Chain A
Amino acid sequence: MSPLFKRWQPNQRSIALIKLTLFTICLWPLARLLLPFYASVTGDLVLGFSGDELGANPIEFIIRDLGTWALNFLLITLCVTPLRKLTGLNWLLRLRRMLGLYAFFYALLHFNIYLGLDQSYDWAEIAKDILKRPFITVGMLTFALMIPLAVTSNAAMIKALGGKAWQKLHMLIYPLTICAVLHYWWLVKLDTTQPAIYAALLAVLLGARLLGRWQENRTALRSAA
């Protein structure tokens, strides 16, 4: 499709370097939360952070921000395949696992801070929250659906499951990302602009896949006829 891009095939070493760079960049959202915290403890500027960045309600800010980044990484992960198809850069696929695991990593932090700092590990209260609050229910569902994907993300598990079954299992990312957007939508008090933007992006990413599949089917039918 784009011969200019296609020409560049990174070797093992370049891939390793790209991965290391990406790994570091993906830690930035976490650093943005930890550095102000560290700065407010020491009273010094840390990499330009003073400690005021988290605002008057830092715990809420942290919970929201971690959730936002979990969702960001889900969408970024979903971008890999369309981007690969558009550019012909097949090696992009090799970054997908890390991006997906980062989504899980931020969701795990988000989930744990909710359990600890929002609910003080009050399990009865947490159970009530899950049953009574649709946005918590759907958030929990999102996280629960992410667990099998994270667990089966290594090469050994792919081998054990077999490529087809593994691929089928990992299609769970579609419904779980829809759940993640719903989780966001339902917690917003009034101004749904942000979740609406996420919903639109997700619709484009899922729509592109449906369109691709439909076209594939049509060509398959034509060549059969």
Chain B
Amino acid sequence: MLIKRPDDIFPSEITPEGLYLRRREFIKTGVGLVGLAAGTTLLPEAAHALPKPVPPFSTAKKSPLSTTGETLTPHQDVTNYNNYYEFGTGKADPSRRADTLQTRPWTVSIEGLVKQPKTLGIDDIIKLVPLEERIYRMRCVEGWSMVIPWVGLPLASLLKQVEPLGSAKYVEFYTAVQADNMPGINRRYLDWPYIEGLRLDEAMHPLTIMAVGLYGEALPNQNGAPMRLVVPWKYGFKGGKSIVKIRFTDKEPRTSWMKAGPSEYGFYSNVNPEVDHPRWSQAKERRIGEILKRPTLMFNGYADQVASLYTGMDLRKNF
């Protein structure tokens, strides 16, 4: 598989000025987190019983797989314009209501066609491998897009914790249902729990990550805390939020959106300017912060890295 390495670029060129000027805030937030964690571990009685402090998200190493040459979407917009239907269908509903989401304790079970199913605590997942900053474009099926500096780990490194059987062909992702904390759950727009899925090779692809943070901080609830899937060449809804279960299967998963609208949402849902949503065009998108629309790129601009996954497939049929 061909993985195109981005051109070398000076950090000053990729960091927007506003963010650069606020770098001390980020460092402070990070230090605050360490301080908090350290504070708890320094309690004399509990010192040995408690797990090691969670590494600060702000020190995540910059990944060479990050998208370069794009202006980051402001933090304010990334965290206030969200689709998280469990909290309502309005774009501002999640940021207004998701503070009720309980993100600790949190476990993720990895099961299905594996040799040894496992249940991992979220804080152990965060410490599994060094966290990376991944700057990715995010294209929503509705026709808008953002550029988000995620913090996370390759999904592959999480999946390798269990040994998938040879019969495993797909990976299914289940997101949290907290009926008492999620005002949207009573409305049956979608079949809860929200289910998403990937083919095994898509899931193992180096661009696919589990995000646990963004902008150098822990993932805000409205963005899918404590851990959400990010598959940058697919429409945003493929990135299930607040994931609690990962299941290896031999059958193509039937996702929540496929159940809601089989003619409108397919399993693959790769960003493709040539394959329209039945009701609207996908040729253009409005980047948040811009006035006019810009052309949508094939595989959201990640064609060099992922097009080979779909060689020989009719992308119109496999939409």
Query: Within B79-133, which residues are at the interface with A (CB < 8 Å)?
Result: 80-81, 85, 89, 91-92
Number of A-B contacts (CB under 8 A): 52
State A128–B279 Cα separation when bound (angstroms): 12
B190-A190 in contact (CB<8A): yes
B21 near A: Cβ within 8 Å?
no
A133-B280 in contact (CB<8A): yes
B187 near A: Cβ within 8 Å?
yes
Query: Within B167-181, which residues are at the interface with A (CB < 8 Å)?
Result: none
Query: Within A34-75, which residues are at the interface with B (CB < 8 Å)?
Result: 55-57, 59-60
State A57–B261 Cα separation when bound (angstroms): 25
> Given known contacts A133-B279, A133-B281, is B292 in contact with A57 (CB within 8 Å)?
no
B286-A60 in contact (CB<8A): yes
B288-A191 in contact (CB<8A): no
B190-A57 in contact (CB<8A): no
Contact of A190 among B77, B80, B260, B281 (CB under 8 A): B260
B292-A120 in contact (CB<8A): yes
Contact of B281 among A59, A129, A134, A191 (CB under 8 A): A129
The interface residues of chain A, by DSSP majority, are classed as: helix
- List, in ascending order, chain B residues with CB within 8 A of A132's CB: 276, 281
- List, in ascending order, chain B residues with CB within 8 A of A135's CB: 279-280
Q: Number of contacting residues on A, CB 8 A?
A: 20
A56-B189 in contact (CB<8A): no
State A60–B288 Cα separation when bound (angstroms): 10
State A189–B260 Cα separation when bound (angstroms): 10
Shortest CB-to-CB span from A157 to chain B, Å, is 37
A56-B77 in contact (CB<8A): yes
B286-A59 in contact (CB<8A): yes
A55-B91 in contact (CB<8A): yes
Contact of A186 among B76, B279, B283, B286 (CB under 8 A): B279
> Given known contacts A134-B279, A187-B279, is B288 in contact with A56 (CB within 8 Å)?
yes
- List, in ascending order, chain A residues with CB within 8 A of B276's CB: 132
- List, in ascending order, chain A residues with CB within 8 A of B292's CB: 117, 120
B187-A57 in contact (CB<8A): no
CB closest chain-B residue, reference A129: B281
- List, in ascending order, chain A residues with CB within 8 A of B268's CB: none
- List, in ascending order, chain B residues with CB within 8 A of A216's CB: none
State A132–B275 Cα separation when bound (angstroms): 13
B286-A57 in contact (CB<8A): yes
B81-A191 in contact (CB<8A): no
B304 near A: Cβ within 8 Å?
no
- List, in ascending order, chain A residues with CB within 8 A of B142's CB: 189
CB closest chain-A residue, reference B76: A56
State A133–B292 Cα separation when bound (angstroms): 20
Contact of A56 among B91, B261, B291 (CB under 8 A): B91
The interface centre, meaning the residue of B76, B80, B144, B280 with most chain A CB atoms within 10 A of its CB, is: B280
State A134–B283 Cα separation when bound (angstroms): 17
B274-305: CB near A (< 8 Å → 1, else 0) gives 00100111010010110111000000000000
> Given known contacts A190-B89, A191-B189, is B286 in contact with A55 (CB within 8 Å)?
no
- List, in ascending order, chain A residues with CB within 8 A of B283's CB: 125
- List, in ascending order, chain A residues with CB within 8 A of B291's CB: 59, 117
- List, in ascending order, chain A residues with CB within 8 A of B80's CB: 55-56
State A135–B276 Cα separation when bound (angstroms): 14
The interface centre, meaning the residue of A57, A59, A133 with most chain B CB atoms within 10 A of its CB, is: A57
* 24 A-B pairs with C-beta separation under 8 A: A55-B80, A55-B81, A56-B76, A56-B77, A56-B81, A57-B91, A57-B144, A57-B286, A57-B288, A59-B286, A59-B291, A60-B286, A117-B291, A117-B292, A118-B293, A120-B292, A125-B283, A129-B281, A132-B281, A134-B279, A135-B280, A187-B279, A190-B261, A191-B189
Identify the A interface with B (CB < 8 A).
55-57, 59-60, 117-118, 120, 125, 128-129, 132-135, 186-187, 189-191
Known: A134-B279, A191-B189. 5 other contacts (CB 8 A): A56-B80, A57-B91, A117-B292, A128-B281, A133-B279
Closest 6 CB pairs of A and B: A56-B81, A56-B77, A191-B89, A190-B189, A56-B288, A191-B189
